[in-house]
Amino acid sequence: MGDIIVIAEHEKGRLKRYSLELVGKAAELAPQLQGRVHAVLVGEGLQALAEDLGRYGAQVVTILETPAMAAQYNSDGFTTLLTKFIEATKPSVVLAAASPMGKDCLPRVAMRLKTGLIADAVQITVADGKVVARHPIFAGKALVDCIVKSEPQMVLVRPNVFPVPEPNKNGKAEVRAQAADPGQMRAVVKETIEEERGDDDLTEAQIVVSGGRALASSENFKYIRELANAIGGTVGASRAAVDAGYISHDHQVGQTGKTVNPTLYIACGISGAIQHLAGMRTSKYIVAINKDQDAPIFTKADFGVVGDLFAILPLLSERIARIKREG
């Protein structure tokens, strides 16, 4: 029983949505563990973000200030900083997102702390003073509840499985800033190259345009990309499209892919198998384009178009581009 530390991430001056989800979840669990919610940020000039975390439920926020890592994630540096911080703070639980950073860094931290880590959790509860994390096994065929017996209990949580709490404008965290030494870093990030529009982080996207098996080739994914570009969306895909090699696995939405939670999800030539729905069913508005009027996706769609996507998508992208041009 004790405090929960949330490893909070930020990019381009904004907190990652999954970090806010984790703070909200931690605030729900902390009373059952008789502890506090303690968030940690790494970088410089992060006072405003620390205060934001307070509005979402963090009671204490520590900023590990290090000029070397003001903007860039670094495996060695983050591992050293977070290990030292957790050793000094002695929490019961550490929560981080199963993001690229979380998946790279937290197993290293767990090794150094000689504790256990549960990866890819989709639910967290508390029983007998311990956190119980549920996560998929056997490529998503079953779910298992796990407990880390040692402390801190470390859990990587899949993004978009918890709601982001409503911010409380009176919520205030105690913000502590401390200079931190990342130690020796064997590699440094010299340059970051922005991905082409349409390949942004799916888990953070507000608009997702996904293509399925019906696309029939990687070239035809241009229709998905064009629509995504036209409406400022990010490209997703079904597993059938990924398995067929039309697009890479990092675009896969679903039980064995990414969980998304956008305002608008457009499913093109996707039947709506339960494993696909598992990754996008919480989208606010779902639009389906499918030539089979009995496709299961239509039972989940707010708006459906029955027709051939190869006829519909170019028209849609062109019409949106024209509206944008003509204002």
126-165 mask for ligand FAD (x: CB under 6 A)? Answer: -------------xxx------------------------
Rounded to the nearest whole angstrom, what is the least distance from the CB of residue 244 to ligand FAD in the complex? 9
Nearer residue to ligand FAD within complex by CB, 2 or 212 = 212
271 lines the binding site for ligand FAD (CB under 6 A) = yes
Interface residues for ligand FAD in 168-197 (CB under 6 A)? none
Q: Which of 295, 298, 301, 316 binds ligand FAD (CB under 6 A)?
A: 295
280 lines the binding site for ligand FAD (CB under 6 A) = no
Rounded to the nearest whole angstrom, what is the least distance from the CB of residue 279 to ligand FAD in the complex? 6
Nearer residue to ligand FAD within complex by CB, 25 or 239 = 239
Number of residues that bind ligand FAD (CB under 6 A): 31
Q: Which of 292, 319, 322, 324 binds ligand FAD (CB under 6 A)?
A: 292
Rounded to the nearest whole angstrom, what is the least distance from the CB of residue 282 to ligand FAD in the complex? 15
What is the 3-class SS of the chain, one letter each residue? CCCEEEECCEECCEECHHHHHHHHHHHHHHHHHCCCEEEEEECCCCHHHHHHHHHCCCCEEEEEECHHHCCCCCHHHHHHHHHHHHHHHCCCEEEEECCHHHHHHHHHHHHHHCCCEEEEECEEEEECCEEEEEEEECCCCEEEEECCCCCCEEEEECCCCCCCCCCCCCCCCEEEEEECCCCCCCCCCCCCCCCCCCCCCHHHCCEEEEECHHHCCCCCHHHHHHHHHHHCCEEEECHHHHHCCCCCHHHEECCCCECCCCCEEEEECCCCCHHHHCCCCCCCEEEEEECCCCCCHHHHCCEEEECCHHHHHHHHHHHHHHHHHHC
Interface residues for ligand FAD in 202-261 (CB under 6 A)? 212-214, 238-241, 252-257
Rounded to the nearest whole angstrom, what is the least distance from the CB of residue 223 to ligand FAD in the complex? 10
Strand 207-211 and strand 37-42: pairing? unpaired
Scanning 45-53, 93-101, 190-198, 274-282 for contacts with ligand FAD by CB under 6 A, the matching segment is: 274-282
Scanning 2-10, 52-60, 68-76, 285-293 for contacts with ligand FAD by CB under 6 A, the matching segment is: 285-293
Tell me which residues touch ligand FAD (CB under 6 A): 139-141, 212-214, 238-241, 252-257, 269-271, 273, 275-276, 279, 289-292, 295, 308-310
